């Protein structure tokens, strides 16, 4: 949800939240800025936006809930919830019951559930009740599935989770949160997953066949959506547009395009050329997605927005050095 004309005034809290003064304007969203190790608001509208001052500093890793003003962050070796960013009631609290430090976080579309996961450790752990009453569920060890964890998605309504495992016996698994997983569809190289807004469909991107599989979770029917002339799809995101069409956005890395597919007609709505290599299609503002996070101080943040017109927009870089011993990937994951 886009937050309009928020006035951010001074506030202090434990855990690295810092004081701010006299900041106002339309807020498109909040982001973890890797080079400055801080959480910041993006102020203004796409095409005319800039970073606000840091709302939390000395952060090693963070993931912001889609369209919300709270985030899960790693500070001083502890996993914390940073709530109320950009308000006078902001605060930080340690999330109790977390069994390990994740290298990624998958959010439900409404931001009430976050699934912490570790590719190297082969586990995931849900945190529900966000942001008011965070509650960590049981850790699920998925190393017995074989292969390597490549992606996780969680829906907002039916509380389902999908897990992509790559390798010789690659597959996508699905189940209810807190319940055992069942194989859903075999896939050589599942690299990105996304639930439809109603939770009835799961979309899975196969990097090996360069195809998109649409799986009906009611009847487990599978529909294959071809991606003609696309060689390097890297991420997908399902969405519903103003005409109530079920769409899937497909980011083509070295293809340098963002493809919009109409699921019902299996037609390409539009191929949007980009002058960057997108790495994600992560929900950000009301009608915007993050295509590429900032990995270096000289780089901008790249967003896609359907308004004022569908295209990629950049938020200009801010210059600030960070300690060399902190190694974080472009996606904001610890290394």
What CATH number does the domain containing 206 carry?
2.120.10.30
Within a domain: 91: no
Within a domain: 74: no
pTM to 2 decimal places: 0.88
Read off the tokens for 277. Answer: 């290599």
318/41 Cα distance (integer angstroms) = 13
SS3 assignment for 254-305:
CCCEEEEEECCCCEEEEEEECCCCCCCCEECCCCEEEEECCCCCCCCEEEEE
Q: Residue 12: what pLDDT?
A: 30
Q: Residue 14: what pLDDT?
A: 35
Q: Residue 11: what pLDDT?
A: 30
Number of domains composing the chain: 1
Q: Residue 299: what pLDDT?
A: 95
Say what the alpha-carbon torsion angle 24, 4, 131, 196 is, to the nearest 10 degrees.
-140
59-115 pLDDT, tens per residue? 999 999 999 999 999 998 999 999 999 888 899 999 999 999 999 999 999 999 999
Q: Residue 47: what pLDDT?
A: 87
Q: Residue 329: what pLDDT?
A: 34
Q: Residue 259: what pLDDT?
A: 98
Within a domain: 51: no
Within a domain: 45: no
Q: Residue 141 belongs to what domain range?
A: 99-232
Within a domain: 263: no
Within a domain: 191: yes
Q: Residue 35: what pLDDT?
A: 96
Q: Residue 309: what pLDDT?
A: 84
SS3 assignment for 97-153:
CCCCCCCEEEECCCCCCEEEEECCCCEEEEEECCCCCCEECCCEECHHHCCEEEEEE
Within a domain: 7: no
- Cis, bond preceding 308 (omega within 30 deg of 0): yes
Segments of the chain scoring below 70 in pLDDT: 1-24, 319-335
Within a domain: 326: no
């Amino acid at each position: 949800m886009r937050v309009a004309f928020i006035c951010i005034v001074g506030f202090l809290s434990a855990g690295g939240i810092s004081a701010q003064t006299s900041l106002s304007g339309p807020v498109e969203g909040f982001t973890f800025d890797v080079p400055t190790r801080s959480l910041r608001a993006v102020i203004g509208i796409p095409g005319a936006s800039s970073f606000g001052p840091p709302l939390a500093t000395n952060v090693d890793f963070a993931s912001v809930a889609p369209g919300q003003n709270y985030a899960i962050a790693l500070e001083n070796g502890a996993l914390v919830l940073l709530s109320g960013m950009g308000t006078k009631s902001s605060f930080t609290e340690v999330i109790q019951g977390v069994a390990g430090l994740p290298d990624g976080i998958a959010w439900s579309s409404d931001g009430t559930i976050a699934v912490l996961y570790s590719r190297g450790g082969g586990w995931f752990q849900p945190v529900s009740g966000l942001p008011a009453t965070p509650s960590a569920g049981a850790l699920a060890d998925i190393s017995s599935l074989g292969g390597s964890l490549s992606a996780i998605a969680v829906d907002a309504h039916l509380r389902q989770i999908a897990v992509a495992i790559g390798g010789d016996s690659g597959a996508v698994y699905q189940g209810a949160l807190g319940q055992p997983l069942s194989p859903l569809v075999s896939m050589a190289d599942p690299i990105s997953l996304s639930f439809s807004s109603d939770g009835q469909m799961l979309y899975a991107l196969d990097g090996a066949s360069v195809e998109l599989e649409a799986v009906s979770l009611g009847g487990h029917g599978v529909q294959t959506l071809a991606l003609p002339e696309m060689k390097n799809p890297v991420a997908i995101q399902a969405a519903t547009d103003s005409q109530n069409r079920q769409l899937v956005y497909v980011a083509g890395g070295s293809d340098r395009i963002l493809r919009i597919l109409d699921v019902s007609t299996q037609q390409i709505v539009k191929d949007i050329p980009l002058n960057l290599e997108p790495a994600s299609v992560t929900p950000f503002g009301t009608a915007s997605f993050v295509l590429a996070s900032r990995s270096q101080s000289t780089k901008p943040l790249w967003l896609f927005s359907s308004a004022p017109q569908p295209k990629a927009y950049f938020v200009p870089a801010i210059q600030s050095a960070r300690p060399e011993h902190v190694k974080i990937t472009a996606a904001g994951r610890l290394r």
